[in-house]
């Protein structure tokens, strides 16, 4: 497996994702330029120019027409994916950590960090694609204040249940479900001891996996919020994804950037780890990065994946035939008793 090295960003990567069809790869980094790449060839198609701070998160809608970016410059921007035109900029009162489209792409939600005297917020904006951009209201349709005690920060936001609830993860290891209409908390679980770095869902949004600083990734039933599996590693997990075609999990992580210098390069463990979804067993690693992996995305067709790391590179990997042909370690079909 020879990866394509995507050298476009000048600073460490924060997020990588494929669009719904899997032909575009979006990457965000601490430099101010979110970038879109051809997911097949690794060719850089263009950048979205306008942000003045690190870009923490982005989300492309299902039809790939519009792109949202969340930035530390306290704005969330709406872009025309194809032309790269900035359609609208939504000012916030603190760095914007995460952004997510609602089903149907008429609304989106952002999470912002507390800043100065302003509290952390979840905001929902209405941006129907059919209405003219000029008519979009810059004040959110709904604002939910996050609990002020202990100053916990939100790390991810996702719409769930046909836009009925908002799923938000926090840096104290908890997950909350909010009602989209009223902003009240529907459910709270506390699956991790430390920060949940990233959460990612399968295509159907029926399963999700959390990557946490407590060295584990955990798989959940997204409908009932039930914990199903735990994948243990020896490093903080920065991102984890579920393979769409195989019963596999991909994990990326590494020591926190601040403590990397205390680790020897070869023991840095900056690899992508492959786990079996069901048996929770690690069965492979892909090396290459020389900094902790911050973000992983797997193509919806399951044939390639991209990883972005603290070292500023995105590595686009296409799986070998041997991986694609790999069968489950336990034979399918009925158990054959020994005949002796």
Partner 1 sequence: MTNAMAEDLADYMSDNELVVEPKLPKLDESFGCTVVISNLPKVPQPKHDKLKSVVLKICNKVGTVDVRDEVAPLMPSGEDGKSFGFLFITFKSSADATKCEEAVNGYQFDKNHKINVVKYDEVKKLKTVADTYEEESASPYEPSPDTSWWLRDPSQRDAFCIRYGNETEVHWADGSREPVLDHDGGDKKASGVQWCNYYMEWSSRGSIMATILPAKGVITWGGPNYKKLKRFSHVDVETVQFSPEEGYMMTTSFKNDIKDAIKIWNTKTGKLLRAFPLFPSESFKEKDAEKPPPFLWSHNDEYIARMGEDLISIYELPSMKLLEKKSLLANGIAEFQWSPAQNILAYWAPEKGNAPAHIQLVEIPSRKHLRQKNLFQVSKVNMSWHDQGKFLGCKVLRHTKTKKTVYNNFELFRVHEDGIPVEILEIKDAVFNFRWEPQGTRFAMVHAENRSATRASVSFYDMNKEVTHTERRGPKGSKKQVTVTQTVSELNLVSTLKDRQCNSLYWSPAGNIIVMASLGDTSSGSLEFFDVNTCTTMAVREHYRATEVSWDPSGRILSTSVLQPLTGGYFKFQMDNGYMLWSFQGKQLKTVAFQNFFQFAWRPRKNLLGEEKRSEIKANLKKYYEEFDRRDKEKARALYLEETRGKRELRSKFRDRVEVLRAGYDANREQRKQMNDGYDSEDEDMYVIQTANVETVLKTDEFLVES
- The smaller minimum CB distance to partner 1, of residues 1 and 162, is found at 162
* Beta carbon of residue 65, minimum distance to partner 1 (angstroms, whole number): 11
Calculated CA dihedral for residues 24, 256, 194, 100, nearest 10 degrees: -20
Residue 143 or residue 247: which is nearer to partner 1 going by CB? Answer: 247
Minimum distance from CB of 254 to partner 1 (Å)? 12
The alpha carbon of residue 127 and the mean position of all alpha carbons in its chain are separated, in whole angstroms, by 22
Q: What is the DSSP string of 33-65?
A: --EEEETTT--EEEE-----S-EEEEEE-TTSS
Residues 19, 300, 59, CA angle at the centre, nearest 5°? 25
Q: Give the binding site for partner 1 (CB under 8 A).
A: 20, 62-63, 103-105, 162-163, 204-207, 215, 221-223, 228, 233-234, 247, 262-264, 266-267, 277-279, 328-331, 335, 337-338
Minimum distance from CB of 219 to partner 1 (Å)? Answer: 9
**Hey, what are 69's tokens?**
């970016």
CB of 93 or CB of 205, closer to partner 1: 205
CB-based contact 154:135 (threshold 8 Å): no
Taking the complex as a whole, the smallest distance from the CB of residue 52 to partner 1 amounts, in Å, to: 33
* Least spacing, CB of residue 288 vs partner 1, in Å: 20
Nearest approach, Cβ of 206 to partner 1 (angstroms)? 4
* Smallest separation, CB 200 to partner 1 (Å): 16
Handedness of CA 175, 193, 15, 95 (dihedral sign): positive
The number of residues making up the chain comes to 340
Q: Are 154 and 176 in contact (CB under 8 A)?
A: no
CA separation for the pair 158, 160 (Å, rounded): 6
Question: CA-CA distances (angstroms) from residue 49 to 101, 106, 144, 279?
Answer: 21, 24, 30, 44
């Amino acid at each position: 497996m020879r990866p394509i090295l995507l050298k476009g960003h000048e600073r460490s990567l924060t997020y990588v994702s494929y669009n719904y069809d899997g032909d575009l790869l979006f990457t965000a980094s601490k430099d101010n330029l979110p970038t879109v790449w051809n997911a097949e060839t690794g060719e850089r198609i263009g950048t979205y120019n306008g942000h003045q701070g690190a870009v923490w998160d982005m989300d492309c809608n299902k039809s790939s027409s519009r792109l949202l970016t969340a930035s530390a410059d306290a704005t969330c921007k709406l872009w025309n994916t194809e032309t790269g035109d900035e359609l609208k900029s939504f000012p916030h009162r603190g760095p914007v950590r995460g952004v997510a489209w609602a089903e149907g792409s008429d609304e989106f939600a952002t999470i912002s960090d507390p800043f100065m005297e302003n509290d952390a917020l979840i905001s929902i904006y209405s941006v129907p694609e059919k209405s003219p951009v000029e008519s979009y209201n810059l004040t959110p349709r709904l604002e939910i204040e996050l609990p002020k005690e202990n100053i916990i920060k939100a790390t991810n936001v996702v719409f769930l249940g046909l836009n009925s609830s908002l799923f938000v993860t926090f840096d104290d290891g908890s997950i909350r479900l909010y009602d989209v209409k009223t902003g009240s908390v529907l459910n709270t679980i506390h699956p991790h001891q430390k920060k949940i770095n990233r959460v990612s869902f399968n295509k159907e949004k029926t399963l999700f996996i959390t990557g946490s600083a407590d060295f584990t990734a955990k798989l959940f039933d997204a409908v009932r919020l039930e914990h199903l599996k735990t994948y243990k590693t020896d490093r903080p997990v920065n991102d984890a994804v579920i393979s769409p075609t195989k019963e596999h999990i991909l994990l990326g992580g590494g020591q926190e950037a601040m403590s990397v210098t205390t680790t020897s390069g070869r023991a840095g463990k900056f690899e992508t780890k492959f786990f079996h979804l069901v048996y929770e067993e690690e069965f492979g690693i892909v090396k290459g990065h020389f900094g902790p992996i911050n973000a992983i995305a797997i193509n919806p067709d399951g044939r390639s994946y991209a990883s972005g790391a603290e070292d500023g590179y995105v590595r686009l990997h296409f799986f070998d035939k041997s991986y694609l042909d790999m069968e489950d370690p336990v034979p399918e079909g009925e158990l054959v008793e020994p005949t002796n």
